[in-house]
Amino acid sequence: MEDATWKETRPGRWERAQTYLERINILTRNVPNAIGRDNWAKNAVAKLEFHPDIKDPAGYLRTAWKQVRYNHPEIAAFPYNGRYIYRVGDEPSIALWVSATFSVAEGKTVDELLGRIPRNEQMMCYFLPDTSEVMIWSPHYRVDARGAIFCLNHLVESLANMNPNLVFGGCAKNLTPSMELTLGIGHEETPELVAQAESRLAALEPHKPALELTPTIKAQRPGYTQRHFIKFSKRDTRTVFDSCETSALAIDIALHAALISSVAKLAQTKEARSFMASFHSNLRTLIPEGAAPENSPTSYTSVITTEVIVSPQTNFDSYYSQLAPVYAAGYAPYLPSSPFFHKRLEETLLGSNHGKKGEADGQLQPRFAFLGEVDEQVSKNVGDGLVKVKDFWLGAETLTMRMMVHTWIWEGQLVLSVCFNESYWDRDQAASLLGGMQDALMEVALRKISRVDSVSGTYDTKQRKMSAQQESLSHWVTKLNDTLFIQPNDELALEAINDQVDQSLVTKINHEVYNYDQFKQGLQYVRSTCISIQDEFSIVLQWENKEKPDGVVAVLSKWRTKDKASGKETTKSNVILWEVKWIDGKRKLTGQTEVEVA
């Protein structure tokens, strides 16, 4: 295999061989029946707040984007015949590159761009002025999630310098060494390395029937990518992290175990089945000190897949124990044989049996990634308030049946996000997947408090009150909202009304007032005629009673109803005050005051 070192092959033209990761990613970007689109394309988004002195945010971003190109020129390299080629360019060609790769998307949101960007070999930057968001888009062979975050951060930090001294003839010195060169991966084939590669390839096959979610297939051709995400409150995040720390649980493994718990709950089985758990392993942790920059806009992520057994007897703890040794070993054991494994994987993907499910990788199980604390990776205040980063999101376009789950921490809040293709999954299925993860994590956090006494088998009122106090009010409200309005089971909704809504309930929606019976009848009518889809449910403010586990929670809710008969969709936004009181040893909803706009 050719040496992947950058070399100047003619004046101003630099080349290197593509790494094995880049080649396999170029292969898996292709999906049958999705010509001209890019599977797994990365999307990193920051919501920006510009100082009033900045009259032309788009102009600032263009100048910043040019600096990203200069300092990390590989973002403008392009693949050709198994090689990466970079041309240093001059001012006119750089201006042309900026005009081709930077775009102002007037009247658009992230959701309206996601999955609708045509295939492009270049990394792109979009500014959405209506929402004050900037989005980095890239084919995944060019950059992984952490690389996309790094590019996004470099773009934001460059906004503080609007007079850069850029001499593009010298930019080639900033080309990042290839991943293979940095990690010292050799290509000399030995029987031992080939055997390791074959063993790893064989391990991709399950030993038992696969545990898979059931897709809702609306079309054989991939549709647009959609996203759904949940933000934990800061209190719930702290509760989960404290519990993991107390129990010596690693948060990334706990999150992955929670994902498997959710799938096991949604796809219940009466026999032992295999869940092929796959996750993104960060190869940057293997870079020798001083060998190359850990933060670079390249692909340093490889997938590890391991078989997890799921049965009626398994639970979160068993999933965690099966995942833990795989996470602990990391990617280091695979590194020497990785080129040979990916070569065999490429041969397998190109084989005649590939694609029988319309999948690039033949599995329906969601893939998982934990990105850590993004606060530590993105500057949130640039130029003493010149630009502030108010929010962050990352996802991947998916053109197959595999959903992609990314998780991270932002400003002390745990975020669970899933990307899915609309041709194969409904939004309520995605919401149920993340809701199951959330429930699994909170159950782990609360189980020491709410555990049934092993001797007496009783669960007294004091224990119940302690459990309710430990579960934050915001989490209780979020679960009740989902049970009443979003999840598809009418019996569960009716049970929640009878058990968790007090008969003294008064609901006010704008100028309309409803009592308990009217609320119950109205909810049953809406559920019988419409499907409700939650797009956002964010806690704005909450007051929790120090003496009892009740209080008041203010929520921003954005949702849609889809008429079951006509298919017509109606979008609504609400600000809701949820009033909760502790009655007869349990929390009950006693009042709702809503401002609703359709």
pLDDT at position 484 is 92
Residue 314 lies in a domain: no
Residue 240 lies in a domain: no
Provide the mean pLDDT of the chain. 89
Q: Are 137 and 117 in contact (CB under 8 A)?
A: yes
Q: Which CATH number does the domain housing residue 559 bear?
A: 3.10.450.50
Query: Is the model's pLDDT at 200 over the cut of 50?
Result: yes
pLDDT at position 57 is 97
Share of the chain above pLDDT 70, in %: 93
Residue 253 lies in a domain: no
pLDDT at position 569 is 85
Residue at which a domain ends, from 188, 203, 219: 188
Predicted confidence band of residue 470 (pLDDT cuts 50, 70, 90)? low
Indicate the DSSP class of residue 131. Answer: T
Predicted confidence band of residue 347 (pLDDT cuts 50, 70, 90)? confident
Q: Which CATH number does the domain housing residue 127 bear?
A: 3.30.559.10
State how far the Cα of 514 lies from the Cα of 297, in Å rounded to an integer: 55
Packed helices 427-450 and 473-481: angle between N→C axes, nearest 10 degrees:
140
Residue 260 lies in a domain: no
Residue at which a domain ends, from 188, 206, 231: 188
Q: Are 270 and 239 in contact (CB under 8 A)?
A: no
pLDDT at position 38 is 85
Residue 525 lies in a domain: yes
* 130-146 pLDDT tens trace: 999 999 999 999 999 99
Predicted confidence band of residue 346 (pLDDT cuts 50, 70, 90)? confident
Residue 85 lies in a domain: yes
Query: Is the model's pLDDT at 468 over the cut of 80?
Result: no
Predicted confidence band of residue 298 (pLDDT cuts 50, 70, 90)? confident
Average confidence (pLDDT) over 211-216: 92
pLDDT at position 353 is 55
Residue 233 lies in a domain: no
| Model confidence, pTM | 0.78
Residue 501 lies in a domain: yes
How many domains does the structure of the chain reveal?
Answer: 2
User: Rg (Cα) of the chain, in Å, rounded?
Assistant: 26
Residue at which a domain ends, from 133, 157, 188: 188
Indicate the DSSP class of residue 119. Answer: P
**Among 215, 225, 302, 281, residue whose Cα is nearest residue 38:** 225
State the residue range of the domain holding 106. 7-188
